Structure 1
């Protein structure tokens, strides 16, 4: 099993939120990592704000490791079973079952294909 040390956590893809700071508040950019509460920084440019949040992330993670506290991980690191339960109206269930029968595939296969197609259209 991989040891979850600073290198492990720094290698994870934590989403970074960057917002422009208004000129009346000093200008520049505010950066934070929403998954790591209190992990924030700023910078005069986007690049500086990003570099600074990377430094802040390292300090935040090292502090949590030293205190043996739980560190959240980004969703792409989670394991997914590939199963979920969906409740839907009977009329939609009937329509989907009819279409899958007409296509000659199982209802599960048809719904998985329809979801994959729809998700691909949004990406």
Structure 2
């Protein structure tokens, strides 16, 4: 596992007046800096230190999201009336309910 495989993000923090470096796999960690580059370098350093500490103590190290396997399936409970509306919409468009729901989640418009 490489520290480079973690999901890093740098954004502006209006509250702090600085850039903040974040790591999705370690939501409690962040690093404030004047430049985006410094914020990224800072959060990467903190993640490296935390991973080293976890390793040294035999604790579980979070798996990078990029290395996880996704099945492509998840269940969503919806009200029966919405289920009916979506089934009708799918039938009208000549696609499966799964295809319609997948397209809607992706923000796509289906065309015949």
Shared fold (TM-score, shorter chain, > 0.5): yes
| RMSD of aligned residue pairs (Cα, Å) | 3.1
Q: Which protein has the bigger strand share?
A: 2
1:13 matched residue in structure 2: 6
Matches within 5 A, 1:38-117: 39-116=29-106
Q: Which protein has the bigger helix share?
A: 1
The 1:82–1:38 alpha-carbon spacing in structure 2 relative to 1, beyond 3 Å, is: closer
Query: What runs of 5+ residues in structure 2 fail to find an aligned partner?
Result: none
The 1:67–1:93 alpha-carbon spacing in structure 2 relative to 1, beyond 3 Å, is: same
> TM-score, normalization: structure 2?
0.65
Larger Rg: 1 or 2?
1
Following superposition, the deviation at residue 34 of structure 1 comes to 5.8
Query: What runs of 5+ residues in structure 1 fail to find an aligned partner?
Result: 1-7
Aligned length: 108
SS of 1:84 mapped into structure 2: coil
SS of 1:11 mapped into structure 2: helix
> TM-score, normalization: structure 1?
0.61
